[in-house]
Structure 1
Amino acid sequence: MSEQHVALYVTGSIAVYKSLTLTRLLVKSGASVRVVMTKAATDFVTPLSFQVLSKNAVATDMFAGTNVKAVDHVELADWTDLAVVAPASANLIGKLANGIADDMASLTLMATTAPKLVVPAMNQHMLDSAAMKRNLATLSEDGVKIMAPATGFLAEGYTGRGRMPEPQAIMNMITDLTPHNTPLTGKRVIVTAGGTRERIDPVRFITNDSSGKMGYAIAREMQSRGAVVTLISAPTKLTPPTGVKLVSVRSTEDLAKAVTTAFKTSDILVMAAAVADFKPVNSVDQKIKKSADNDHLTLELTKTPDILKDVAKLKRPGQMTIGFAAETQNLLDNANQKLTSKQLDLLVANDVSKPGVGFNGDTNQVTILQPDHAPIKTALADKQTIAQQVVDQISQRVQREG
């Protein structure tokens, strides 16, 4: 962390005391730390405490005008290499997600272009509210890193989710976010995303419920760890992550051609796209009309290309292939069969019949399978958190295999 500029934003929460320890850890690591406190945060701990530990003045008022040669919030935003919001209250999270800038903390964060890490801390009921889930999903899509809250004894007197993680755990994540070489630095990575479409006629097609959010989250995570990422995407409503090369496709055949071409010069392929398994044998170029004497329409379907199976034939030493398996029954049996038959290095399986898991949602829960490892089952979490856990396993495998 030597010479890194870290702006620590502290909001109103009983967990503020942990931020004092976090400040100490950052300073000990060699970082230069400047603290911004909301008014609510100052009701728990005085600014003087953070000033003593950080050896810098604490910002609390957007109209203080302490620097006569600069605009305070812009100067601090430009100074920042990494912005950390810990603890992050529901109030500040809502402001960030919805573009509200009405105090020093939200105003400065709005002007900050450096990476941001948000560490929510609140009661479990607040954390599980629909509004909070929307706001956290919005921040993730905007490229903000979200650290999952811990589970434990809450201020309300019972055990639940929502505790601010311990300062050392936050410090570990900050270290991961600080620019440095990782096992994925410079790796040429292909990530596929979205659901492919197979045309019946000009106005109808066969597809699935994939939103593309999981693939986009993985592309964003790969890029943040220094990989050179190509995102091959079927149609979605998502904005591609900054710095990622986008290749747009529609059908499974389009996807197969794009993947085959890109795989020749890639190191890692992550097939997160939800590929249509079948397509019409005949696709017509005029809309199929209903007629008075025909109440039924029969579609003859044929299989689409098995992209991962075909890619396995092209795989050279050192290349990795990662697949996804969306199942509704016999999850591990079906996933292990796919892992073996397609010669995958890693497979991410999920049971999309469960609430909150899989297609077209903001959360997921997966089981990560590898040929030489015990299965790793994640907790239900937002898709960016799941992406971090999946990429962690890919990164570790790259490191093991050199």
Structure 2
Amino acid sequence: MAKQHVALYVTGSIAAYKALTLTRLLIKSGAAVRVVMTKAAEAFVTPLSFQVLSKNAVATEMFAGTQVKAVDHIELADWTDLAVVAPASADIIGKLANGIADDMASLTLMATTAPKLVVPAMNQHMLDSAATNRNIAQLKQDGVTVMTPATGFLAEGYSGRGRMPEPAAIMQQIETLRPQTTPLTGKKVLVTAGGTRERIDPVRFITNDSSGKMGYAIAEEMQQRGATVTLISAPTKLTPPAGVSLIPVLTTEDLADAVTKAFKQTDILVMAAAVADFKPVNTADQKIKKSADNDQLTIKLTKTTDILKQVARLKQPGQITVGFAAETQNLLDNANQKLIAKQLDLLIANDVSKPGVGFNGDTNQVTILQPDQAPIKTTLADKHTIAKQVVDQISQRLQKEG
């Protein structure tokens, strides 16, 4: 933690005394620590105690005017490399989850863009309440790390969940949040996901069974490894991963335009979207009605843009392109043809005719093809696990390409 700026937020809980030890451990690890306390926290521990340990003034009041040339809460937020809320009461968790900023702690946390670690500490009944569970889920969705409370003897005199973990355990958790440099750190990654839609009329369209889960899992894994990720997504029911920029699209042409526009500034393109290969030649302006005289309807289709073929013409040295091939027969033959024809660095092939593989499910099994390597076949696993394996291979390719 040498030279890291840690803002420690202490809120109203009997466990506030543990935050003194946590402050000491942070200082001993080499971090610079500044403490913010709520009024409720001051009922348990005095600001002077934290001031003596941290060698910094403790912030307790909004708009105290301690910074002559800056706004107090913004200055502290900008100074912060890591924000730790320990102990985190149900009150502060609710404020953070719902965007309430009515004291120095919640106001500064609202302005903080650095990673946040929230360490809940409260009675088990409060922890298990629907409101607290809802608020914690929202924090996680917002990209906040929430540490699991410990189980043990509570202040109320009985054993249960909700104890603040020991400071040493919190330090271990903090260690996992430190920025780690990977081959993907700082790389600009473009990921496509979901199934494109081609309109027949205002109420009908041609599409496929893609849920977008594979592409979203890859985007999340890339972001967690330090990449700057843009996700171009056809319609799905998924929430974009925290920290990922989203560009929504509908049709294959929309997707082609978005990819072409962004590709020049991209280091790695992962085409995980399930792109419609055909679209209607003509789209009806009004809903096509059933006719009493005709039991059949013929729709004339034409090919859509081959996005990867288009990208291959734009590709520059150093750029990596990754394609997906969903097949139902002759998996390796068809996939290898696509790998060569589209000038791809990697191709992720799967046989979607197999149970648990491919579209609209939580699991997948893929074969990873590269021009100069033997195929790598994964086992059937959840899509986040598959995403990690795919990103591992992309990362290794990136290192090989220099």
Relative to the length of structure 1, the TM-score reads 0.63
SS of 1:190 mapped into structure 2: strand
Provide the rounded CA distance (Å) in 2 between the counterparts of 1:228 and 1:297.
Answer: 49
- Written as runs of structure 1 = structure 2, the 5 A alignment for 1:152-171 is 153=151, 157=159, 166-171=169-174
| Residues 85-104 of structure 1 mapped to structure 2, 5 A cutoff | 85-104=85-104
Q: What secondary structure, in the 3-state scheme, does the structure 2 residue paired with 1:153 have? A: strand
Q: What CA distance in whole angstroms lies between the structure 2 residues aligned with 1:305 and 1:128?
A: 52
Mapped pair 1:149 → 2:160:
no
- Provide closer, same or farther for how the CA distance between residues 348 and 292 of structure 1 changes in structure 2, counting only shifts above 3 A: closer
1:288 counterpart residue number: 287
Taking the aligned partners of 1:283 and 1:7, their CA distance within structure 2 comes to 60
What is the correspondence of 1:36-55 to structure 2 with a 5 Å cutoff?
A: 36-42=36-42, 45-55=45-55
| Aligned-pair CA distance for 1:94 | 2.2
Superposition RMSD in Å? 5.8
The alpha carbon displacement at 1:4 in A equals 3.8
State the match for 2:109 in structure 1. 109
Report if the CA contact (8 A) 2:218-2:388 is conserved. Answer: no
Partners of 1:289 and 1:22 lie apart in 2 by 68
| C-alpha distance in 2 between matches for 1:391 and 1:85 | 35
Q: Distance in 2 between matches of 1:280 and 1:105?
A: 54
Cα separation, partners in 2 of 1:204 and 1:271, compared to 1, 3 Å: same
TM-score by length of 2: 0.63
Alpha-carbon distance in structure 2 between the residues aligned to 1:99 and 1:270: 34
Closer, same or farther in 2 for the Cα pair 1:391/1:296, shift >3 Å? same
Which position in structure 1 is the counterpart of 2:372? none
Select which of 165, 171, 176 maps to 1:173.
176
Q: Indicate if the aligned counterparts of 1:272 and 1:324 stay in contact, CA closer than 8 A.
A: yes
CA distance in 2, matches of 1:192, 1:12: 45
Taking structure 1 as reference, are residues 302 and 152 closer, same or farther at Cα in structure 2, changes over 3 Å only? farther
- What's 2:183 paired with? 183
Q: Output the amino acid matched with 2:73.
A: H
Cα 1:319–1:45, aligned 2, differ >3 Å: closer, same or farther?
Answer: farther
Deviation at 1:184, TM superposition (A): 1.8
Provide the rounded CA distance (Å) in 2 between the counterparts of 1:264 and 1:243: 19
1:382-401 correspondence to structure 2 within 5 Å: 393=392, 397=396, 401=400
| Structure exhibiting the larger radius of gyration computed from Cα positions | 2
Deviations 1:153-205 (A, max 9, x none): 3556457999689223332234217xxx5422342311224542221114433
Mapped partners of 2:124, 2:365: distance in 1: 24
Structure 1 pair 162–219 and aligned structure 2 pair: CA distance change class (3 A) = farther
1:188, 1:267 within 8 Å by CA — same for their partners in 2? yes
Q: 1:106 deviation in Å? A: 0.7
Residues 50 and 58 in structure 1, CA contact (< 8 A), matched pair in contact too: yes
- Paired amino acid for 1:172: E
Q: Distance in 1 between matches of 2:129 and 2:149?
A: 17
For the Cα contact (< 8 Å) 2:195–2:208, is it kept in 1? yes
Q: How many residues align?
A: 376
The answer (yes or no) to whether the contact 1:252–1:304 under 8 Å persists in 2 is yes
**Residues 189, 205 of structure 1: CA spacing in aligned structure 2 closer, same or farther, 3 A cutoff?**
same
Q: Which amino acid aligns with 1:287?
A: Q
Q: Does 1:73 align with 2:73?
A: yes
Q: Which runs of 5 or more structure 2 residues have no equivalent in the other structure?
A: 340-345, 369-374
8 Å CA contact 1:15, 1:121 repeated in 2 = no
Are the counterparts in 1 of residues 136 and 146 from structure 2 also a CA contact under 8 Å?
A: no
Could you tell me how far 1:9 is from its partner in structure 2? 1.6
| 1:14-33 deviation line (CA, Å, top 9, x unaligned) | 66566445434433343321
**Identity of matched residues, %:** 56
Partner residue of 1:329? none
Query: Which residue matches 2:11?
Result: 11
Contact 2:124 2:160 in 1 (8 A): no
Whether the 8 Å contact between 2:214 and 2:272 is mirrored in structure 1 is yes
Partner-residue secondary structure (3-state), 1:30: coil
Aligned partner of 1:286: which letter?
D
> Aligned partners of 2:71 and 2:317: how far apart in 1?
54
**Paired residue type of 1:201:** D
Change (3 A) 1:11 1:25: same
Distance 1:126 1:391 in 2: 41
Runs of 5+ unmatched residues, structure 1:
327-334, 381-385
Residue 255 of structure 1 is matched in structure 2 by: 255
Structure 1 residue 11, shift from structure 2 partner: 3.0
CA drift of 1:136 comes to: 5.0
Which amino acid is 1:171 matched to? Answer: I
2:58 alignment partner, SS class: coil
Maintained 8 Å contact 1:18/1:166: no
Closer, same or farther: CA 11–235 of 1 in aligned 2, 3 Å: same
Q: 1:299 to 1:119 in 2, by over 3 A?
A: farther
